[in-house]
Structure 1
């Protein structure tokens, strides 16, 4: 049934004195820019790339397809505190409305981006610094409630100096009110996206701006709770270069991606596409080998060498070869972005999926930058964040594993490496969506298992999976790392052995070394076949099956006989 919404309100036409100027001074590079040229580039300086502020109406016009409607919002004219600084608060509101043509510091609309439905709330810094007051909090909450009622993704565009001081404690309460509205969207399984523009501080940064599923930022946009001047004065330290900018925050795991203004529509459309449920493209082809007797016999050490051979497809290779509209997500939202862990959203043969996987690197120079594929605690927390998003949106999880193990450094231990792995195991054991894990190269110990507690565990024909590396086992038990081949044989790390033990459910045939397209085709067929079967099961049955799968390992009797 189609919902009937209130009639759209007219689009505000705000006064812009700078529109009459022929030339504009870029405040970033001091270049004189032809005003019409600046407007044609969505207010991005053609000389230095600085993103000049957009008004809320301009922002909506830039992002939304033609035919969007402004949502009506209540704008109370109450001055509960009777606040007066250099002028009474009602006078400040009246001046802001006259100067901007807006009723308040946010403008809400319903429309589409690249054909995908979305509810948008865009803030306007010109209106009292984009401050969060009762009217703004009410508008944001109403937009969230519209998104919940219509099951439409919500996009929040932030530009704010923080809570509105003239409204005192009532402004502070808007942080709770809007956060509560975002939580309801979590419970409803509705995608939320935050777009950070410059600047976003205080109560907005500490509530709805950073509570969304995906956080996108414009280049150079600043985000933080306290402003840099307050921080510097409080702690008496020189702040690092680029502090609180989008680039700094991406490195420190707070935001997911940076999108220049000219690429924003495309980036947002790709994200919104996963909130839809398109039909499977084509019929799945069963390529898996499920009988160990059909696999050739060979020494397990040969498999170890093959699994480590440089030039095998990486998680990112598979992501770009298999997934349409793939968007990589970054950061653990706490402290760091681990480059050894890849997470993202995309569509596999038309099915929206969440991808997690380890990344060793494509080139010798990339290997150390990726930490040789050994994730830190931040990497496992990033993967957990992506998997929780999959659970919220009801999307299957595809996990690709190629790691010698979790990073064993001092910093990793200080940051809780064991806890991060354990938390992932607990999360996966109850994640209410289909999960398929594939060991594509090395599957090393708990660092691999943290991504592989799945409904179906597959491995490539030349992959290996073990409790410890053969060299580590040989050094401990034989006191000789040179006995690694002997250890590999004893550990039975190869695909044939593991399929026979029931540790993996199927083996993906290997293509010729270096043929990434053929490898991706085989893997894609295996994944689609597994996911289609798992998606036909109800959640309770699938979770019970997953539990029984791992419950059976080491049990002294068939699982059906265990009380």
Structure 2
């Protein structure tokens, strides 16, 4: 890191590290050169020391002398606060931070990518936000909007500035409005503690990255615990990820790489070489052993491909799933969280890049039975709920679909589900409403969409994500009004071979649906099914996605016109 006394901002060397370090038990946490080289993360105990505004600027841009794009007159205490200590606090904040206000705003480059970058300086009133900071951030939003640039903001904040009272309070709806009008992607980074009104309005980006060891919430835990006990990991970054508030947790050293991967997807024309992020499947416990797996390992007669046998191939326990097909993307930055209650692992979504063509990928993962010798274990199936998404998953998908519209990126859906989640949790979450809202969002979406059925396409859980501009199916996939087991039990309850009868008496195969013009194309599979040659099946899907993206990116209109959207809708209204 550079000498902090050097550069445009003339930051003082004296900082609050001494007080901060005394609270740490690690005897090796001290200001040394190895600490600076490690981005102020202790190499001994791995604790995160405060990263200043100038530290962030140097880390992300390599600059030590940067002029702000928005200047504001100094805060005048007689205009803003009558508190007797305000004038003294203002003077101390200016001296401590080296700034006249708390928000740094700049138009700069992160590698080759032009961005608008704002950083809240924690040294100024402990990162609390008043009318000056609010106004500067509002203007930064407008600059990003007018110049069609991504907005990146870094936050360490205890909320709104109480000395400035109602003027601070009014910044919250003000910023909420300006961000709602922003038509460019907004990436928010949480560093350290972020609480109060800052968490309400300022940090609510399209993508939220929580730095390791950060705290994220509305009311500070010290206030809450005066009334009620608080659980372990309360307001930690782990809880924020689990409850769907943030997209990811990142170590400080990885944040620039993550940003470059995201920016490469948002702005592929200014592509920057960097370490490519790929999808990393979570560690899942092996789960319980399946006591009777003879039905799972049922042999399929490949010589006679009727609907029943195709159904068996579509449901085969070795058939490739969404995660297998995510390998085709050169980059994949997973986005998590519905911003309300959780993440929902059944739907995997993220920013992707293939042949330098960016897109959003949303897939349904059903998991596989894990084989150990002759035994099968159900850990993945349980974790992914056998590919049956619930309300949380559809809310997450909808959030990311809307982000795709803002970023003007096509969406590719990789679908494999027998239907939406069926249990009391799903019903309490109003799954019917979530499916309805998801369909409305996709039908009226102002970006191009492609849905690929890679196995099962059952009921509303499938069609909620499949009402796209282009619908493709793998050769041995199926689509139906309900899972064939449910259809068999309802329509043929007294028949011995009810499932076979139900399948063969239905038009569910890819060929049948293509002949009726319900889908637009069939993606080839290895003879006998994708489970017999996974790599070949992946090649076929990769080729199909590349072809569809090539068509989309060669269209004269990069986003659908009103007529294009009406054409998408007419596919369903005409039936």
Partner of 2:73: 75
1:39-54 to structure 2, matched below 5 A, reads 39-54=36-51
Q: Does 1:57 align with 2:54?
A: yes
- Helix, strand or coil for the counterpart of 2:116? strand
Shift of 1:440: 0.5
Q: Which residue of 1 aligns with 2:111?
A: 114
| Cα shift readout 1:168-192 (whole Å, capped 9, x = no counterpart) | 100111112222322231xxx3111
Q: Deviations over 1:67-107 (max 9, x none)?
A: 8733142133212466455x531221111111222222222
* CA deviation vs aligned residue, 1:108-127 (integer Å, no higher than 9, x gap): 22222232121111112222
- What is the aligned counterpart of 1:139 among 136, 140, 144? 136
Does the CA contact (< 8 Å) of 1:224 and 1:244 recur in 2? yes
Contact 1:25–1:32 (CA under 8 A) maintained in structure 2? no
Q: CA deviation at 1:65?
A: 4.1
SS in 2 for 1:304: helix
State the partner residue of 2:312: 305
Q: 1:98 aligned to 83, 95, 99, which one?
A: 95
Q: Deviations over 1:376-410 (max 9, x none)?
A: 10100111111111111211110011111100110
- Tell me, in whole angstroms, the C-alpha distance in 2 between the residues paired with 1:50 and 1:61: 21
* Structure 1 match to 2:382: 368
1:11 and 2:18 aligned = no
Q: Which moved more, 1:62-71 or 1:371-380?
A: 62-71
**Range that drifts further, 537-546 or 436-445:** 537-546
Cα distance, 1:20–1:471 mapped onto 2, change above 3 Å: closer
Q: Encode CA deviations 1:11-42: one digit per residue, 9 max, x unaligned.
A: 31322336998x99474553423522221111
Question: Do 1:81 and 1:167's aligned partners in 2 also have CA atoms closer than 8 Å?
Answer: no
1:229 has 2:222 as partner: yes
Residue pairs, 1:454-473, within 5 angstroms: 454-473=468-487
Pairing of 1:488-507 with structure 2 (within 5 A) = 488-507=503-522
Structure 2 residue 477 is the aligned partner of structure 1 residue 484: no
What's 1:546 paired with?
Answer: 568
Q: Which residue of 1 aligns with 2:392?
A: 378
Question: How far apart, CA to CA, are the structure 2 residues paired with 1:216 and 1:300?
Answer: 46
Are 1:417 and 2:408 an aligned pair? no
Aligned partner of residue 531 in structure 2, secondary structure: coil
Question: 1:393-444 deviations in whole A, cap 9, x for unaligned?
Answer: 2111100111111001101111110000001111111111111101111111
2:7·2:64 contact (CA, 8 Å) conserved in 1? no
Give structure 2 stretches of 5+ with no counterpart.
1-5, 272-301, 371-377
The CA deviation string for residues 441-471 of structure 1, in whole angstroms up to 9 with x for no partner, is: 1111100001100111111112111111221
Aligned to 1:325: 331
Q: Distance in 2 between matches of 1:242 and 1:415?
A: 25
> Per-residue displacement from partner, 1:508-562 (whole Å, max 9, x unpaired)?
0013535443323211222232344355255223212212211222xxxxxxxxx
TM-score by length of 2: 0.85
Aligned counterpart, 1:30: 26
Aligned to 2:284: none
Counterpart secondary structure, 1:471: helix
- Count how many residue pairs are aligned between Structure 1 and Structure 2: 522
Q: Matches of 1:474 and 1:349 in 2, distance apart?
A: 44
1:350 pairs with one of 328, 353, 356: 356
**CA–CA distance in structure 1, aligned partners of residues 164 and 259 of structure 2:** 34
Distance 1:396 1:473, change over 3 A: same
* Aligned match of 2:258: 267
> Are residues 19 and 473 of structure 1, via their aligned partners in 2, closer, same or farther at CA, if it must alter by over 3 Å?
closer
**What is the rounded CA distance, in whole Å, between the counterparts of 1:411 and 1:13 in structure 2?**
56
Judge conservation of contact 1:11–1:57 (CA < 8 Å) in 2: no
Give the secondary structure class of the aligned counterpart of 1:337: coil
1:192 to 183, 186, 194: 186
SS of 2:361's equivalent in the other structure is strand
Q: Does 1:249 align with 2:240?
A: yes
CA apart distance, 1:66: 4.5
Give the drift of 1:372: 1.3
Q: Is the 8 A contact 2:338 2:396 kept in 1?
A: yes
Query: Is the CA contact (8 Å cut-off) linking 1:434 and 1:531 kept in structure 2?
Result: no
1:288-325, Cα deviation, whole Å (9 max, x unpaired) = xxxxxxx9972111111111223333223322x22222
**Structure 1 residues 88 and 66, CA, compared in 2 at 3 Å: closer, same or farther?**
closer
Cα distance between partner residues in 2 of 1:279 and 1:109: 19
Is 1:258 paired with 2:240? no
Distance 1:28 1:20 in 2: 11
| Equivalent residue for 1:220, pick from 182, 190, 213 | 213
1:253–1:450 CA distance, 2 compared to 1 (3 A) = same
Q: CA RMSD in A?
A: 2.5
> Any gaps of 5 or more consecutive residues in structure 1?
1-8, 281-294, 554-563
Partners of 2:567 and 2:346 in 1: CA distance: 31
